[in-house]
Structure 1
Amino acid sequence: MAEFDTLHRTHVGARGAAIDEGLRAYMNKVYGLMSVAMLITGAVAWVLANMAMTTDPNAAAAQIGASKYLTSFGVLLYTSPLKWVIMFAPLLVVFGFGAAINRLSEQGAQGVFWFYSALMGASLSSIFVVYTGVSIAQTFLVTAIAFASLSLYGYTTKRNLSGMGSFLMMGLVGLIVASIVNIFMASSALQFAISVIGLLIFAGLTAYDTQKLKTTYLQLAQSDSEFLGKSAILGALSLYLDFLNMFMFLLQFLGNRE
């Protein structure tokens, strides 16, 4: 933020206006890419969930509730070893994406982002089995309002949030480790703690990542358009993950289970 303010004081007039216009276009692209990824994730999750569930007992392979059944596809998706592949594949892809981003073209990076968002849709499709559709929609709306507010704060605040970065990243690593451990422990107390801490971490990351995107643009403004485009894709990925994780943690508090 200090760099942004300094640049505005140094380059006024037409130069300052050009910086503002470029920054707006860059952030619009980031939010646009993120929105498309969210649509892909939601569409894939909804389609797979509808393929996995049925209310017709004659078409069912397993019963999971009153008048609610899994099809053969649902049994394969949610109860076979395939569920572990679907669960961990997005994590492997996002790490590989970060490592390979410099070797990819902008179009290739965008394609990987769309593929990743589809994988996340498959991974998250089980929420339609566990929670009611109304509570999912309500939680999504609450998350969208919270995300917009936090991102706006990160974009407009004069406070330098860079000091939060290391603290939040250490917390995120600890959160991932605890989540993996709890897959096998299945502790409700640990899950509650993970949900509370995770919600706070990703709320902080939303503001931090938004401000970081703003300063990153200033550092890359003189770069070629393809490099700047790949930076926007990485920024969209960061905010996309912030939003999804906030949504999932809030769903554990606000969601009504089937």
Structure 2
Amino acid sequence: MNDRLRTVSIPRSSGAEIDEDARKVLRNTWNLLALTLLFSSFMAYLAMTNNWPYPGVLITLVGYFGLLFLTTALRNSAWGLLAVFALTGFMGATFGPIINSYLTVFSNGHELVIAAFGSTAVAFVGLSAFAVTTQRDFSFMGPFLFVGILVAFLAGLGAIFFEMSALALAVSAMFALLMCGLILYQTQQIVRGGERNYIMATVTLFVSIYNLFSSLLHLFGFFMGEE
């Protein structure tokens, strides 16, 4: 076997091949992602049980982008792992009050949260499996996803500051689709060697799951919520 490139083949029916470096990055990414999701869930639980107030849009955005910048700067060192947990823990803590609001406002709030969580889990597992096994190349999605996310983010800010509920609903639907595309794109980037840093891959997938869950929760609350 050539020592410079050892290739591990997925079953022939999938038609996909993953080299050993990509397999290692994928494994490390999924392991770290699982840990960050658990930690974020724990922080959300603390926020909910202690009735922590929502810090507001400004503090949330400053904290998120500040910790994201720190994680990016430290991505090639062991400190990057601490930055990842700081970022995901912060996101979980700020999302806890949002979940509490759904549990308080809607009589079927628990069902809405469970439905959003289950849908997010199914979407992530399905899209990840497809990205790992398919022969299709989704690298073309990168620029479209970047532009789409930027537009949706700005539209979301407009919906918040101008209190436009219809626009907020449209933004949630847009984000749900974009996050599904981002999960597919990022996973395939790992598989095909386009992403070799598992810390940044974890952050991208975590943010995708976070936004997909929050978007679905908003949509389910609007269409299925019972006050």
Any idea what the Cα deviations from partners look like across 1:2-31, whole Å, max 9, x if unmatched? xxxxxxxx969x932496444333212101
| Alignment counterpart, residue 116 of structure 1, candidates 61, 65, 87 | 87
Change (3 A) 1:257 1:40: farther
Partner of 2:205: 239
Instruction: Please say if residues 173 and 215 of structure 2, whose CA atoms lie closer than 8 Å, have aligned partners that are also in contact.
Output: yes
- Of Structure 1 and Structure 2, which has the larger fraction of its residues in helix? 1
Q: Based on CA coordinates, which of the two structures has the bigger radius of gyration?
A: 1
Distance in 2 between residues matched to 1:11 and 1:250, nearest whole Å = 47
TM-score (norm 1): 0.73
Structure 1 unaligned segments of length 5 or more: list them: 1-9, 53-73, 221-230
Partner of 1:138: 115
Distance in 1 between residues matched to 2:168 and 2:20, nearest whole Å = 44
Moved more, 23-32 or 169-178: 23-32
Counterpart amino acid of residue 245 in structure 1: N
Instruction: Please say if residues 86 and 122 of structure 1, whose CA atoms lie closer than 8 Å, have aligned partners that are also in contact.
Output: no
Partner of 1:92: 66
TM-superposed deviation, 1:86: 4.2
Percent of aligned pairs sharing the same letter: 27
Distance in 1 between residues matched to 2:83 and 2:120, nearest whole Å = 25
Instruction: Please say if residues 175 and 215 of structure 2, whose CA atoms lie closer than 8 Å, have aligned partners that are also in contact.
Output: yes
Partner of 2:105: none
Any idea what the Cα deviations from partners look like across 1:97-116, whole Å, max 9, x if unmatched? 22x136x52x2000000011
SS at 1:204's partner residue? helix
RMSD: 2.5
Instruction: Please say if residues 94 and 116 of structure 1, whose CA atoms lie closer than 8 Å, have aligned partners that are also in contact.
Output: yes
Instruction: Please say if residues 45 and 122 of structure 1, whose CA atoms lie closer than 8 Å, have aligned partners that are also in contact.
Output: yes
TM-score (norm 2): 0.82
Partner of 1:32: 31
Within 5 Å, give how 1:19-98 maps onto structure 2: 20-52=19-51, 74=52, 77-78=53-54, 82-84=55-57, 86-88=59-61, 89-98=63-72
